[in-house]
Amino acid sequence: TLRSLVKIASPDALYFWAAMVFAVLAALSTSAISLWTGDALDALIKSGDGKRFKAQVAELAVIAAAGAVCTGCRGGLFSFIGVRINVRIRDALFRHLLTLELAYYDETPTGDLNSRLSSDTSKVGDQVSLNVNVFARTAVQLVTTLAFMWHTSPELTLVACCSVPVIGVATKRYGALVWALSKRMQNELAGAMRVAEEAFSSMATVRSMAAEPSVAADFGAALEKYRQVGVLQACAYSCWQSFNTALPTLMTCLLLFYGGRLVDKGELRSGRLVAFMLLTQSLADSFNTLADMFSNIADALGAADKVFVLLDRKPGADAPPAPLSKKLADAHCAGEVRFEDVHFTYPARPDAPVLRGVSFACAPGSVVALVGPSGSGKSSCLALLQHFYAPTRGRVLLDGDDVGSRDHAWLHTKVAMVGQEPVLFARSIEKNVIYGLEGTALEPDAAKVDACLLAANAKPFVDALPDGRETDVGERGAALSGGQKQRIAIARALARDPAVLLLDEATSALDAESERAVQDALDALIKECNITVMVVAHRLSTVRDADTICVMKRGVLVEEGSHDELFARDGGVYADLVRRQANISKEDSRSLLSTAGSESSLPSAAAGAN
């Protein structure tokens, strides 16, 4: 952790050494003040030299003023370093998180990631810089104070140093305890934040279930664990403070007794004894400051440890590389998709196979529908084609090449997805349409954005808005209806000029009017654009018109063929899905086949989500 901290702070080395110079000067001035105070008292008490006393006081004022300036410069530089480290580590962490495989996000609570990115990075930047500032000041103060103490009285200095081994052992024990308790507190707090994050993100469900008391109880239980560790930390701090107060007091008594004897013998001036006691107090204050820092340093290092463990985590198979180049953007993609004996298990559920030996092909420009009961692996096929995950066995090919070997940015311009619940971002409609393409070779102009909105049947309602394409959609698209969000998502997919379009239950959650608007846009695209389309759980008119229907059950491809072929198959899974959706008997289905060309005669045969 310390090595990683030094590495990330290395760009600020010049500022650090400048701050250290000011720290040395400030420490020298603080120690010199004690010595000058003793000399001034000697000048006044022993010789009665008022002129010399005034000169000593004037010098003391100059030293104090210089020390104040150096202290301010030191503190300002360390604060400046802290801000730079904070920004640098937060930016590095966020960029690194974007490279991690999707499976990591399946396994890691969002609250933990937010905690790493917000509070932990703040502790690393703010607390580390603050504590380095205090530590540098205190360490230099210790050295200079000891040097001035030795210069004042070597005998008294040796007596004072007798307590150092005791302080060292106690400090080491206390530091280890605080480190362990600090890590426990951070873990318990992250657990409480997970509960809060889950509640805030699902507040409508919490309210509809009248589950507020239950959620509050869960949060309270998590906070109680945090409180218990905090009590232990408070007890440890209390014991340490008692020890840290008693020992310096005892040493002060011992030094006064021994120093008084030296003054009586004439071996030490009384002013120098006063100076030595002031230096001793400065030394004790330095040790107290170091002791108080342990909890803060342990807290900061505990946070830094979590951040750097995450930063050191190697990206997975789908980690995104460099931005899309012009040459790569122009690379042709025919849109041929092939699954070859694909087996797949989600990393978060290694004992639950999702796909088992799935093989099928999509010719360029064809429409392939994936249907089947809920949990049969349909959506997982789309996830594998987008290389969100790597198959456990087998291959997923695009134009004959494994999708894992394709450039990340190129793959996700050639393969576009429209899901059941499209996510829009808190920005304008236009910026949502060009999302991910800004600054790349494929960034569309205003005319292209208009064309995509028109093709997605979204331009009429967008033009009717007061700000048109510049309308802010709100957080997660809250300012738009479900159908409007879906059409913006379709326009966003089209802006990438995809060779393969994936539709995962793209209209199942919409009302009839919105579904009709979105469906009309999709039907027109499928007919007019020469792109490969893979449909999951779409309405039967599209499923029936698909070139190939792949029927899946429990992760296995059980049937494959056209609508008429599969519907005519007695006892077939597809035919059974259609009959159950339409609530008809086998006998009625035979007569229904003769009218299959009529859209109204066959209701939607959408299967459930994966």
Query: What's the CA gap between 238 and 173, in Å, rounded?
Result: 14
Q: What is the pLDDT of residue 327?
A: 52
Contact 171, 291 (CB under 8 A): yes
Per-residue CA distances from 532 to 345, 389, 503 (Å): 26, 21, 11
- What CATH number did the domain enclosing 241 receive? 1.20.1560.10
Asked whether the predicted pLDDT for residue 46 surpasses 70, the reply is: no
* Three-class secondary structure of residue 559 per DSSP: strand
Which is it for strands 415-418 and 532-536: parallel, antiparallel or unpaired?
unpaired
**What is the CATH number for 423?**
3.40.50.300
Encoded tokens for 334: 């025919």
pLDDT in tens, 466-524: 888 888 888 777 888 877 888 888 888 888 888 898 988 876 656 677 667 667 766 77
Candidate from 281-290, 311-320, 350-359, 478-487 with smallest mean pLDDT: 311-320
Same domain, 245 and 365: no
Check pLDDT > 80 for residue 202.
no
Rounded mean pLDDT, 322-342: 72
CB 288 within 8 A of CB 142: no
Nearest to 104 by CA among 364, 348, 414: 348
* Partner residues linked to 561 by β-bridges: 549
| Residues 244 and 390 occupy one common structural domain | no
Q: Looking at the structure, tell me whether residues 113 and 22 fall in a common domain.
A: yes
Domain span at 86: 2-311
Average pLDDT over residues 425-434: 86
* Nearest of 188, 49, 186, 208 to residue 121 by alpha carbon: 186
pLDDT band at 340 (very low <50, low <70, confident <90, very high): very high
Bridge partners, 338 (sequence order) = 361, 397
95 domain-assigned: yes
Q: Are 608 and 373 in contact (CB under 8 A)?
A: yes
Residue 225 CB contacts under 8 Å (≥ 6 apart), including other chains = 188, 191, 192
Whether the per-residue pLDDT at 322 is higher than 70: the answer is no
Give the angle 375-376-379 at the CA atoms, nearest 5°.
80
Most confident of 165-169, 194-198, 366-370: 366-370
Of 311, 345, 367, at which residue does a domain stop?
Answer: 311
294 and 407 part of one domain: no
Residues 266 and 390 in one domain: no
- Per the structure block, which two tokens stand in for 88? 């640098």
Confidence of residue 338 (pLDDT cuts 50, 70, 90): very high
Contact 279/148 with Cβ under 8 angstroms? yes
Query: For residue 553, is it within any domain?
Result: yes
From the list 483, 459, 486, 456, the residue with the least C-alpha distance to 471 is 459
SS3 assignment, position 561: strand
pLDDT of 329: 55
**In the 3-class helix/strand/coil scheme, how is 459-487 assigned residue by residue?**
HHHHHHCCCHHHCECCHHHCCCCHHHHHH
In this structure, of 249-253, 363-367, 592-596, the range with the lowest mean pLDDT score is: 592-596
Specify the number of domains making up the chain.
Answer: 2
3-class SS of residue 357 = strand
Distance CA 362, CA 600 (A): 28
From residue 234, how far is each of 82, 237, 353, 362, 479 by CA, in Å? 27, 5, 49, 65, 48
Q: Which of the listed ranges 25-34, 225-234, 601-610 does the model predict with the highest average pLDDT?
A: 225-234
Q: How confident is the model at residue 381 (pLDDT cuts 50, 70, 90)?
A: very high
Give the three-state DSSP class for 511.
coil
CA distance 194 to 211: 16
Mean pLDDT in residue range 178-193: 82
Rounded mean pLDDT of 396-400? 89
The answer to whether 471 and 386 have CB atoms below 8 angstroms apart is no
Considering the domain architecture, whether residues 393 and 467 belong to the same structural domain is answered as yes
Strand partners, 393: 343
Q: What's the rounded mean pLDDT across residues 246-252?
A: 78
- The residues, any chain, with a CB within 8 Å of residue 86's CB and separated by 6 or more, are 121, 122, 124, 125, 126, 129
Alpha carbons 133 and 482: distance in angstroms, whole number: 53
* Pick from 77-81, 187-191, 519-523: least confident: 519-523
Of 18-22, 134-138, 449-453, the poorest mean pLDDT is in 134-138
User: Do 341 and 489 have their domain in common?
Assistant: yes
Is residue 321 included in any domain, yes or no?
no
> Which of 146, 298, 321, 148 has the alpha carbon at shortest distance from 237?
298
Pick from 421, 368, 379, 376: which is nearest to 535 by CA? Answer: 368
Give the model confidence (pLDDT) of 84-134 as tens digits: 888 888 888 888 887 777 777 777 777 777 777 777 777 777 666 777 777
Mean pLDDT over 44-50 rounds to: 63
**331 — alpha (psi -120 to 50), left (phi > 0) or beta?**
beta
The owner of tokens 């969002």 is: 110
Beta strand 532-536 with 367-371: parallel, antiparallel or unpaired? parallel
d(CA 592, CA 184): 66
Q: Which of 300, 348, 404, 325 is nearest to 85 (CA)?
A: 300
CB 329 within 8 A of CB 111: no
* pLDDT given at position 341: 93
Does 526 share its domain with 597?
yes
Per-residue pLDDT of 162-185, as tens digits, reads 777 777 788 778 877 887 887 788
- The answer to whether residue 337 scores a pLDDT higher than 80 is yes
Report the range out of 38-42, 263-267, 366-370, 465-469 with the highest average pLDDT.
366-370
pLDDT score, position 600: 35
Residue 171 near residue 290, CB atoms below 8 Å: yes
Nearest of 306, 312, 293 to residue 183 by alpha carbon? 306
**Looking at the predicted structure, is the pLDDT value of residue 575 above 70?**
yes
Asked, for residue 18, whether it belongs to a domain, the answer is yes
User: Is the pLDDT assigned to residue 343 strictly greater than 90?
Assistant: yes
Q: Reply yes or no on whether the pLDDT at 312 is more than 60.
A: yes
Domain-embedded: residue 322: no
Residue 249 and residue 124 share a domain: yes
514 touches 486 (CB < 8 A): yes
pLDDT of residue 592: 46
Q: What is the pLDDT of residue 45?
A: 65
| pLDDT > 50? residue 594 | no
In this structure, the answer to whether residues 378 and 304 fall within a common structural domain is no
Q: Are residues 307 and 347 in the same domain?
A: no
Mean pLDDT of the chain: 78
Using DSSP, state whether 597 is helix, strand or coil.
coil
Select the more confidently predicted residue: 153 or 203.
153
Strands of the sheet with 353-362, listed across from one edge: 353-362, 337-345, 393-398, 401-402
In a domain, 200, yes or no: yes
316 in any annotated domain: no
Task: Please compute the mean of the pLDDT values over residues 385-406 and round it to a whole number.
Answer: 88
Give 5: exposed, middle or buried? Use CB within 10 Å, 0-12, 13-18, 19+: buried
Full DSSP string of 406-467: S-HHHHHHHEEEE-SS----SSBHHHHHTTTTTTSTT---HHHHHHHHHHTT-HHHHHHSTT
The region of weakest confidence among 258-267, 343-352, 583-592 is 583-592
With a pLDDT cut of 90, the percent of the chain lying above it is: 6
pTM for the model stands at 0.62
Question: Would you say residue 442 lies in a domain?
Answer: yes
Answer yes or no: do 455 and 354 share one domain.
yes
Give 65 or 296, the one with higher predicted confidence: 65
